[in-house]
Amino acid sequence: MRNKQGGKPASCGGPPRHAGPAKQVRIIGGQWKRTPLPVLEVEGLRPTPDRVRETLFNWLNHLLDNAWENIACLDLFAGTGALGFEAASRGAAEVVMVEGNAAAVRQLEAAKLKLQASQVNILRGDAGTAVQRLSTRFRVIFLDPPYHQDWLPRMLPLCDRLLADDGLLYVESEFSLTGDAPMPDWLATWKVVRADKAGMVFYHVLQRNTSPQIKA
């Protein structure tokens, strides 16, 4: 779930809008299956679509042999925490969430308390700065940054330092990382092992080119 910034700012004129029904996403699988996570009414804040998360975790279950119990995950730009809490629900041993929005951090803390998710650690701050301070090697990193702000060229080298040798990097973006066009330099050391599109969302699982081969 990400703050997809880069669109037009909300209009300040006109009559006030009435609040609609509360928005939420639900955890798809694991011990907290069907548990709702609120989506804050913050400009530009929206969840990764349910069917994208379902497909992603089907991929990860296959690639990880459904063995989450020893997995450490890093959820950058955590937003609602849908990706990180989903991993924790399925048994991940450790989940670190990084989020810069203060209201979103409070909501993450409330969800952690409600779920009694002791394996979840929530860090408030800029993702680039937080990554440089971390020393844990993560088997799975979720990278779902704001759109149209060139986060991927900055973050992929930083994620490389923290990713385990056989680790998997999930990347969600407004453009495809596959295709016939020449790949940018910042993607040269990575290979895309899974990819799909839902609406305007392109989502991928990446692995280092030099990593031991994971089953197809």
Cα→Cα distances 118→28, 61, 83, 88, 111, Å = 20, 22, 16, 10, 11
Coil, strand, or helix at residue 156?
Answer: helix
Residue 16: CB atoms within 10 A of its CB come to: 5
Residue 17 above 50 pLDDT? no
Instruction: Find residue 171's DSSP bridge partners.
Output: 143, 204
- Round to whole Å and give the CA distance between 116 and 139: 23
Q: pLDDT tens across 163-199, in order? A: 999 999 999 999 999 977 777 889 989 999 999 999 9
Go through the domains of the chain in sequence order and give each one's CATH number. 22-208 (3.40.50.150)
Query: What integer pLDDT is reported at residue 197 of this predicted model?
Result: 95
Q: What is the model's pTM?
A: 0.86
Query: What integer pLDDT is reported at residue 18 of this predicted model?
Result: 35
**Longest Cα pair distance anywhere in the chain, in angstroms?**
58
The mean pLDDT value for 143-149 works out to 89
